[in-house]
């Protein structure tokens, strides 16, 4: 019995080691982390006035990435749970993301309800050019696929608007700092974005630096200064990634 038990352990160790080698050779990767945000700012809007904890996890294989991201305001008022899939080929990425807002009284809280007219989910399909050393610009375009309660037509709350968002960013670097100058717009009216026609409603600057604490520990810090010309508001948000 003891010999058989030791044999099973040895086989298990060999199998796990073989899988680990296969995963390494096949570009398999699993990453997890948590961001601490002074506030939750998204596309020209403040979704969380208080600080928030934003955990995330990603599983990737070659160009395919599956992930989840969440935001939980420390006061407990604002919550969000996202699931997404991305496929990257060279400098381009195709993204599908599903957003869900737990405890939002205006939205259906049944996570399994995907009826377009009543669901609490919102989904966007987007395509981005991620920039390169020779072309230091990134471009993103996304359209809401479903989720009428979050993206209704301005004059008909029973129909989805299919709001579209475009963002162009310049990618730069100064010494130890990387920065992004961005501008986001929508070509049509949108209840989701608070626009009545073509409008630039999200513009600003993001700077990022990695702070080294010890030889073995460092963390990125990101600061964003942004404005929404439609609402005439200015936002400053900081994020520390752990």
Alpha helix positions (H), 28-73 = none
DSSP letter at 198?
A: S
The architecture (CATH level 2) of 28-241 comes to Beta Barrel (2.40)
Residue 13 has φ and ψ, to the nearest 5°, of -65, -45
- pLDDT category of residue 165 using cuts at 50, 70 and 90: very high
Domain ranges for the chain, please list them: 28-241
Q: What is the mean pLDDT of the chain?
A: 90
Contact between residue 140 and residue 124 where contact means Cβ atoms under 8 Å apart: no
- Which two structure tokens, joined as six digits, stand for 44? 């020209």
Q: In the predicted model, is pLDDT for residue 77 greater than 60?
A: yes
Q: Which residues pair with 125 in a beta bridge?
A: 96, 143
**Among the listed ranges 22-36, 69-83, 136-150, which one has the minimum average pLDDT value?**
22-36
DSSP letters spanning 75-99: TSS-EEEEEEEEEEETTEEEEEEEE
Say what the pLDDT of residue 14 is. 46
The answer to whether the beta carbons of residues 241 and 220 sit under 8 Å apart is yes
pLDDT in tens, 172-192: 999 999 999 999 999 999 999
Q: pLDDT value at position 24?
A: 52
Tell me: pLDDT of 3 over 60: no
% of the chain exceeding 70 in pLDDT: 89
């Amino acid at each position: 019995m003891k010999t058989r038990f030791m044999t099973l352990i040895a086989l298990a160790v060999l199998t796990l080691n073989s899988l680990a080698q296969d995963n390494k050779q096949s570009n398999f990767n699993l990453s997890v982390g948590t961001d601490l945000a002074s506030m939750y700012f998204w596309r020209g809007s403040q979704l969380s006035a208080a600080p928030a904890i934003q955990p995330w996890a990603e599983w990737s294989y070659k160009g395919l990435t599956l992930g989840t991201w969440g935001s939980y305001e420390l006061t407990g008022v604002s919550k969000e749970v996202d699931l997404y899939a991305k496929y990257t080929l060279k400098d381009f990425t195709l993204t599908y993301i599903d957003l869900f807002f737990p405890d939002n009284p205006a939205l259906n809280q049944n996570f399994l309800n995907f009826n377009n007219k009543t669901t609490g989910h919102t989904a966007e399909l987007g395509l981005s050019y991620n920039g390169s050393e020779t072309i230091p610009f990134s471009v993103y375009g996304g359209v809401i696929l479903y989720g009428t309660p979050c993206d209704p037509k301005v004059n008909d709350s029973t129909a989805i608007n299919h709001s579209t968002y475009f963002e162009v960013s310049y990618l730069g670097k100064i010494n130890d700092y990387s920065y992004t100058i961005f501008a986001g717009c929508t070509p049509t009216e949108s209840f989701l974005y608070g626009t009545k026609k073509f409008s630039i409603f999200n513009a600003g600057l993001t700077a990022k630096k990695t702070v080294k604490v010890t030889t073995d520990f460092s963390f990125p810090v990101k600061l964003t200064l942004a404005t929404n010309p439609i609402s005439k508001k200015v936002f400053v948000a900081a994020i520390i990634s752990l």
